[in-house]
């Protein structure tokens, strides 16, 4: 036993040296690999697919008579999702059109009365002039008779008749002036109602026309349209249901504009910047499909800060927990179209910290500076040319009546 120890000790020593060298070399290679590659990446599997959940609701109350889409069905932007009973809106539109016609006819009489009242003013002015002439004649007669009174050339009865004629002429003049004042007041009042406008531009007519537009808009809104294209989910509306404005009917998820929300630890965010590149894999497809994305932005706070019940750390049994901060990553639309995802699916994300932040953010920043909306839809932009033509026709048909 003691004789074999010297022969085996060098072999064991060399073996230990070789093993130590291999471990040291592996550590050096790992250190070099970490410095050159791994140190420039941060990864997490706490990531999930997110998307816009567009809730569909009606803008007017009504009874559901048609449903145009079911769950899991894909619809285009502007597709009819729900139809409401239009009986009430049709009646309201007809009543508004009749009220407009009546208002136009009433307003037309105001303009016609201007000419009539102007003629009444002219007649009143003529009556005043005539009354003034009669009064002047009566006063002259009375003055001559008063001059002859001392000579006995005029009887007392004639003098009395002359005095009565003057008083009668004065009363007639006062009456004529009162009639003229009344005619002028009526003309002024009527002119104030029509000043600076025509029948078509009169405020009463414009107000009645707006009532027609409002009734027409309510009639159009009996068709609930899809503001965006996507897949229908969470349909709760039923046929025959009486709904109110704002009641949730269904949800549309635009699957072509999904993004990933990756929750990184706070000690992983030091070198992370918007614009850096990221590679992602989904549990749905596994490693055979790789997505390429871009960091859009880092949330303003950790998930616990925005929780319904935020953490209260001012207590004696406080234990430090590493917080996670959501990082939004935009996916490549072409890859998303080739390999569709669903909201809520799990993802694995790796961000390349060495990639220089590109200027992808310039477009959103430009929109923010110019006030342009980040999201918009033209579905609710109704063309008023149809109702405007109808209003114009109603006005023209009743102006000449």
Q: What is the DSSP secondary-structure string of 248-304?
A: EEEEEE-TTS-EEEEEEEGGG-TT--TT-EEEEEETTTEEEEEEEEEEEEE-SS-TG
Establish if 347 belongs to a structural domain. Answer: no
**What gap in Å lies between CA 161 and CA 390, rounded to an integer?**
70
In the predicted structure, residue 212 carries a pLDDT above the cut 90: yes
Establish if 136 belongs to a structural domain. Answer: yes
Looking at the chain, the whole-number percentage of residues with pLDDT higher than 70 is 80
Establish if 63 belongs to a structural domain. Answer: no
In the predicted structure, residue 366 carries a pLDDT above the cut 80: no
Query: In which domain, by residue range, is 154 found?
Result: 89-198
pLDDT band for position 4 (50/70/90)? Answer: very low
Residue 155: the pLDDT is: 66
Looking at the chain, the whole-number percentage of residues with pLDDT higher than 90 is 45
Establish if 193 belongs to a structural domain. Answer: yes
In this predicted model, which residue has the larger pLDDT, 268 or 201? Answer: 268
Q: CA-CA distances (angstroms) from residue 87 to 57, 63, 91?
A: 20, 10, 6
In this predicted model, which residue has the larger pLDDT, 181 or 286? Answer: 286
pLDDT digits (tens, 9 = 90+) for 163-204: 777 788 778 778 877 877 776 776 666 656 566 567 788 888
Which of 7-16, 82-91, 98-107, 266-275 is most confident?
82-91
Q: State the average pLDDT for the chain.
A: 83
Residue 244: the pLDDT is: 94
Q: CA-CA distances (angstroms) from residue 215 to 78, 100, 158, 208?
A: 21, 12, 77, 11
pLDDT digits (tens, 9 = 90+) for 380-395: 988 889 899 999 999 8
Whether the CA torsion 308, 343, 349, 45 is positive or negative: it is positive
pLDDT digits (tens, 9 = 90+) for 78-95: 999 999 999 999 999 999
Establish if 106 belongs to a structural domain. Answer: yes
When pLDDT is averaged across residues 143-154 and rounded to a whole number, the result is 66
Bridge partners, residue 278, by sequence: 293, 351
Question: What dihedral do alpha carbons 225, 228, 231, 237 form, nearest 10°?
Answer: -30
When pLDDT is averaged across residues 40-65 and rounded to a whole number, the result is 93
Residue 156: the pLDDT is: 67
Give the chain's domain count. 1
Which of 27-31, 119-123, 287-291 is most confident?
287-291
148: left (phi over 0), alpha (psi -120 to 50) or beta: alpha
Helices 87-148, 385-399: axis angle to 10 degrees equals 40
Establish if 37 belongs to a structural domain. Answer: no
Which of 101-110, 183-192, 323-332 is most confident?
323-332
Residue 367: the pLDDT is: 54
Establish if 220 belongs to a structural domain. Answer: no
Phi, psi angles (nearest 5°) of residue 187: -65, -40
Residue 190: the pLDDT is: 60
pLDDT digits (tens, 9 = 90+) for 9-52: 777 777 787 888 888 877 777 676 666 665 678 889 999 999 99
Establish if 162 belongs to a structural domain. Answer: yes
């Amino acid at each position: 036993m003691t004789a074999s120890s010297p022969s085996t000790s060098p072999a064991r020593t060399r073996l230990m040296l070789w093993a130590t060298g291999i471990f040291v070399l592996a550590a050096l290679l790992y250190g070099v690999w970490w410095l050159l590659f791994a140190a420039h990446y941060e990864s997490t599997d706490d990531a999930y697919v997110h998307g816009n959940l567009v809730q569909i609701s009606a803008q007017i109350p009504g009874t559901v008579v048609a449903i145009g889409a079911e769950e899991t069905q894909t619809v285009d932007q502007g597709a009819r999702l729900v139809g409401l009973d239009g009986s009430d809106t049709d009646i309201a539109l007809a009543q508004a059109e009749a009220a407009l016609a009546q208002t136009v006819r009433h307003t037309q009489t105001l303009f016609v009365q201007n000419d009539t009242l102007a003629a009444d003013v002219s007649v009143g002015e003529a009556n005043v002039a005539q009354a003034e002439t009669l009064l002047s004649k009566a006063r002259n007669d009375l003055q001559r008779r008063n001059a002859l009174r001392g000579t006995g050339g005029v009887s007392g009865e004639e003098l009395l008749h002359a005095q009565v004629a003057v008083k009668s002429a004065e009363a007639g003049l006062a009456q004529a002036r009162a009639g003229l004042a009344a005619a002028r007041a009526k003309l002024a009042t009527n002119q104030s109602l029509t000043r600076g406008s025509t029948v078509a531009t009169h405020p009463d007519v414009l107000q009645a026309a707006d009532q027609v537009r409002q009734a027409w808009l309510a009639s159009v809104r009996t068709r609930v349209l899809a503001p965006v294209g996507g897949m229908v989910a969470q349909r709760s509306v039923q046929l025959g249901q009486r709904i109110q404005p704002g009641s949730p009917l269904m949800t549309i998820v635009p699957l072509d504009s999904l993004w990933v929300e990756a929750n990184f630890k706070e000690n992983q965010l030091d070198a992370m910047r918007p614009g850096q590149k990221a590679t992602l894999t989904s549990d749905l497809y596994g490693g055979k499909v790789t997505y390429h994305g871009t960091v859009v932005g880092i949330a303003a706070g950790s998930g616990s800060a925005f929780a319904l019940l935020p953490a209260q750390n001012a207590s004696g049994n406080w234990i430090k927990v590493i917080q996670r901060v959501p990082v939004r990553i935009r996916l490549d639309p072409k890859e998303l179209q080739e390999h569709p995802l669903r909201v809520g699916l799990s993802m694995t994300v790796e961000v390349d910290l060495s990639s220089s932040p590109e200027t992808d953010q310039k477009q959103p920043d430009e929109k923010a500076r110019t006030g342009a909306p980040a999201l918009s839809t033209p579905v609710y932009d109704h063309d008023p040319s149809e109702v405007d033509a109808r209003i114009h026709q109603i006005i023209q048909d009743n102006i000449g009546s």
